Chain A
Amino acid sequence: MSSNRYTGGEIILKALADQDVEVVFGYPGGVTLPLYNDIYKQNSLRHVLVGHEQGGVHAAEGYARSTGKTGVAMATSGPGATNTVTGLVDALMDSIPLVCITGQVTSALIGNDAFQEADTTGITRPATKHNYLVKSTEDLARIIHEAFYIAANGRPGPVLIDVPKDIIMGMGEYVGPEGIEPRNYKPQINGDREAIEEAVDMLASAEKPIIYAGGGVINSGPEASQLLQKLVKMTGFPCTTTLMALGAYPTTDKQFVGMPGMHGTYEANLAMYGCDVMFNVGARFDDRVTGNTALFSPGSQKIHVDIDPSSINKNIAVDLAIIADATSFLTDFITIWNEKQPKLNHKAHEEWWKEIESWRSVDCLGFEQDSKADIRPQYALTQLSEALNGSDYYVTTDVGQHQMWSAQYIQFDEPNRWMTSGGLGTMGYGIPAAMGVQLAHPESSVVCVTSEGSMMMNVQEMATIAKEGLPVKILCLHNKVLGMIRQWQELFHENNESECDLSQGPDFPKLAEAMGFSAMVCEKADDVEGSIKEMLATDGPVFLLMHTDRMENVFPMIPAGAAHNEIVLGPNQKLVPADDKDNVMA
């Protein structure tokens, strides 16, 4: 027998080592016991025992999103595997590279309704980019390497490998990752040159251009963000980035007009509506961005660059489509632009910027904090952003009002610093994601902004964070209600607060202390700045419960099914009515 033969468990660990995996988020179970015996015998791979498999997958997502590497999660068969499903779909929607290894009952028992058996590959088929049921230990190494290739190449996503117990215990040959790639999966990286030339001509001839960047720019690596900044600077054009792309372009820069979409800025949405050339790199015309597709940016020619051909013409028909990786495309685009030295219509652009500045002057995110009044979440997050400014920080969020305010009020000048559940909108994402981020960046400030509804969905991971000695800071905006639900009920459902009250919730500081966190409470506007600074300065995991105004709504807002020019401003912005079309379409 050759010396290259190992048990399935050993093969898994060797393959993970060869894929440069440093940390795995997992939970053992009956069928993965032999694998965990192998994990016990080594110390190169860090295994984090999570509280729940969903938390493990979100932690792997946070790790992946903040490093650009592939995150790894492990679970046992049956309930372990089914618990990963939400995390897998979350990663699928937000294009996060993950490999999830699940145990399965012994091959001979598959289909017999064995103890802790579930049809994991069947259940996760639409939840993953691809999945495998391993039939022989001889295939295991190749499948793991192939899974890493698929997870990270093309449009990234989660790949699941279901490994029956007998395959983990059986013997097979180990092969390294060199030269292993799937037979059929060959994503197109470089865009068509003629199409890129056409894109240069289209953008150069624009009078009212907008550059609209999405999560694809972040997924392509930090170089893509630098290239995007170069492009925006050299053209002088306005830039908007989606929720998934915050940080791909510095949010503090003057050419940044804010985020587009349902809770995007007034200026970003009116620029999207009124532009004559829309230049989309790595965004997918999500319905939260487009609003009513029939009324979406009616007068513009649209260029769409995406690595995933199925994103083209899915929601919005475009005039020019280019299949490419963002880094490759932006490199080519800038080169061709420089070769062509196109003459720009500076006069038109001046007018366009004047128009944008008039929208910006509405100050759609403006707010006032009365020091005697309830703390406004906008104020709390502005203070958080200012306290973080200049430091090395990462922010994760959960889902709801606090997420939108975080997107609006926290500034990011670099990619991979902002982790949020965009596509799936998974409440319970923020705390485990922060754990993954902090593990990858032990010296950085990692703050999870959450609220009591989301927090309770994966609250058990607070114990994991404390157990692992991770100094994660959790800022919980405590409005005692499911805020986004209450907002929609107020605006669209007769103001009936149906099943959204959380005022009877647990004693959060006690809960946090029980989990191993230091707990702080802030109830007064005057204390916001100080308590946030104290939270950031305190060693170890810290939980800050920030009491906020229960009735606050997220504005601006484009109601579902409305067009961008029907954007609704907040009560503070009593300027030109947004639905005044003459104003919009000057």
Chain B
Amino acid sequence: MNNFYNDKVQDHTFSILVENEPGVLARVIGLLSGRGYNIDTLTVAEVDEEEGLSKITIVSSGTPMVLEQIRAQLERLVPVRAVSDLTVDGPSVERELALVKVAGEGESRVESLRIADIFRARAVDSTNTSFVFEIVGSTEKLDAFIELMKPLGLVDVSRTGVVAISRGAEPI
């Protein structure tokens, strides 16, 4: 009970299965912003065409009290079918994809390729003066890669935000 009110902020990943109807994303985002909750990352796409379901993955941060509220408030929305707080509901797999554009010549260009190799990033676009790397992994891995690219001519980054799914045989 004591740790309930404490101010220690944690990151949690929420997986939200919703009816794929107009305005549903606005509903979810509006709920979070309206109640002052954070959205660190957000992804959304249809996952079941037949049933008309989309899945939204949100990484949010807050105190335990706030995180419990986020889940309860999301469950209250009429078009929401299921909500899972993957961080507390059991082990899960999280992945993020980034496209990282690096411009440069000479040694720094070679060095960026070398680091990309270490991170298992692929070059998906190349000119004489630039690369676009595609990298998949945890948020931390992507952060580390982008950090290393900065002195080597980092010019632009696009990230998907986290997608996640629970481990094992059960659906959300």
Contacts and interface: CB of A to CB of B under 8 A. Distances in A.
Contacts of B26: 122, 125
Contacts of A183: 19, 81
B45 interface: no
A147 to B, nearest CB: 10
A184 B27 contact: no
Interface of B is mostly: helix
Given A313-B69, A319-B1, A308 B76 contact: yes
Contacts of B22: 133, 135
A184 B80 contact: yes
Interface string A307-331: 0111011100101000000000000
Which residue, of B27, B73, B76, B80, has the highest number of chain A Cβ atoms within 10 A?
A: B76
B8 to A, nearest CB: 15
Contacts of B34: 126
Contact of B75 (A121, A150, A309): A309
Contacts of A130: 77-78
Contacts of B68: 313
- Main SS at interface, chain A: loop
Interface residues of A, number: 22
A185 interface: yes
B167 to A, nearest CB: 25
Interface string B68-96: 11001101111111000000000000000
B155 interface: no
Contact of B23 (A121, A129, A314): A121
Given A125-B26, A126-B30, A317-B1, A310 B72 contact: yes
- Contact residues on B (Cβ < 8 Å of other chain), bracket: 20 to 34
Interface in B30-86: 30-31, 34, 65, 68-69, 72-73, 75-81
B153 to A, nearest CB: 42
Interface of B: 1, 4-5, 19, 22-23, 26-27, 30-31, 34, 65, 68-69, 72-73, 75-81
B78 A312 contact: no
Contact of A309 (B5, B19, B76): B76
A182 interface: yes
Nearest to A129: B78
A309 B75 CA distance: 9
Nearest 5 pairs of A and B residues by beta carbon: A310-B72, A130-B78, A317-B4, A184-B81, A309-B72
B41 to A, nearest CB: 22
A184 B72 contact: no
Contacts of A182: 78
Contacts of B5: 294, 317
Contacts of B72: 309-310, 312, 314
11 contacts: A122-B26, A126-B30, A126-B34, A130-B77, A133-B23, A135-B22, A184-B81, A309-B75, A310-B69, A314-B72, A319-B1
Contacts of A312: 72
B37 to A, nearest CB: 12
